[in-house]
Amino acid sequence: MGPQKITIAAASVLLALGSVAMLHETAEDTNLRPRRAPEADPFAAPLESAEGLAWRNAEAPAVAVAVEETTAQRIDFTPAAPGGAAPPDADSAGFSFVEVRLDGDSQALIPAPVRDVLERGVDGTPGVFHLTSTRHAIQRVAEGRADLAIVSSAGELTGSGAAVGHAMLGSWIPALVVHPDNPLRNVPSRKLRDLLRGAIQDWSELGGRAGPIRMVVPGDDDGRAAVARAFVPGDSLGVGIPAATEEDRLYKVLNDPFALTVVSTSLAHQVGGTVLTVDGVQPSAPARRRGTYPFGADLYLVHGANPDPATRKLLDRLLGDERDRLIGTRLEKP
């Protein structure tokens, strides 16, 4: 091989090596490296065990602790590696949290900004969440085994006899919403159960224009159960098209003239869609208080007789000047 050919071959090798280096550099620059999986959302997986105890707090280390039901005060614990239990250690700096109990409806209906405030806490004291029954949540607060509960039944509050304080966070007023081109405007209450159970499958059965009813439902069990308890207690929703959030469900309805969904009334009025009356009554908080529109749920914050400073700060923030912004379109202020 002559000198010229050797030079050309060497240049080709160098060019190839340069291309590999550039490809590697491009991969780095475009973030093609594997990424760490996101941390679990405590509201998506309610906490009841040491393995489940985690929250999204960028400034705090991952922690885990075994919570004993017999412990009747706030538990302090030390940071640990993810998944590793860390029992309390009096010789090291403790890490306090506010224990919050949720019932099923509050788990499904709590607005995201409220969830974020509870999750992050105030002054570096985050919330840790447990899903339980309404009665159990109130009982735990009364016994001092939980700092705060969010429940959806005033009957349980007045009938429990527990020495607790409470305040209403807001009311969820659900509305049946259809596409603006759907001529239907009212649903008789006698047909409401069959409609939401899926037994009525054509709009003509409700006096509307013939066409299949395509129901858009919450994508999670708690969300479906909350809608069912509001409109068809004792029954479950029929099969439908799942969508994760109220906004997602409303978007699907606005793009399908045969669709039907249930979202908060205030969101429907703000974004669009036709809100159906039930027996001629428009959904609203006053109509619900009068009993003429008996569908929905009220969310209450339940606290002990003498809440500690961290819990008091949370209550002051959730019930203070920020409340309207925090509850948004999901809830209506009392």
29 within a domain of the structure (yes/no): no
**227 plus 332 within the same structural domain:** no
**105 plus 179 within the same structural domain:** no
- The model carries a pTM of 0.69
Check residues 190 and 36 and name the one with the higher pLDDT: 190
Q: What is the CATH number of the domain that holds 95?
A: 3.40.190.10
| Residue 178 lies in domain | 174-290
Block residue for tokens 């409700």: 206
23-43 mean pLDDT: 36
23 within a domain of the structure (yes/no): no
**308 plus 164 within the same structural domain:** yes
252-260 mean pLDDT: 97
Using DSSP's 3-state secondary structure scheme, residue 197 falls into helix
Q: Is 187 exposed, middle or buried (0-12, 13-18, 19+ CB in 10 A)?
A: buried
- pLDDT mean across residues, the chain: 76
**65 plus 138 within the same structural domain:** yes
What's the domain count of the chain?
2
19 within a domain of the structure (yes/no): no
**213 plus 147 within the same structural domain:** no
pLDDT band of residue 43 (cuts 50, 70, 90) is very low
**163 plus 66 within the same structural domain:** yes
CB under 8 Å to 331, separation ≥6 — which residues?
Answer: 109, 111, 169, 170, 171, 172, 264, 299
Digit-coded pLDDT (tens) for 48-96:
333 332 332 333 332 222 233 323 333 332 333 333 333 333 333 445 7
11 within a domain of the structure (yes/no): no
E-only strand ranges, 94-201: 98-102, 127-131, 148-151, 164-172, 174-178, 186-187
Q: Give the residues across from 275 on adjacent strands.
A: 177
Check residues 91 and 200 and name the one with the higher pLDDT: 200
Within 13 Å, how many C-alpha atoms sit on residue 282's CB side?
A: 8
**189 plus 248 within the same structural domain:** yes
What's the confidence (pLDDT) of residue 120? Answer: 87
**207 plus 266 within the same structural domain:** yes
In DSSP notation, 218-269 reads ESSHHHHHHHHHHHSTTS---S-EEESSHHHHHHHHHT-TTEEEEEEHHHHH
**42 plus 163 within the same structural domain:** yes
168 contacts 93 by C-beta, under 8 angstroms:
no
**200 plus 223 within the same structural domain:** yes
190 within a domain of the structure (yes/no): yes
6 within a domain of the structure (yes/no): no
**278 plus 230 within the same structural domain:** yes
194 within a domain of the structure (yes/no): yes
**136 plus 238 within the same structural domain:** no
Backbone angles phi, psi at 201, to 5 degrees: -120, 0
What's the confidence (pLDDT) of residue 98? Answer: 87
325 within a domain of the structure (yes/no): yes
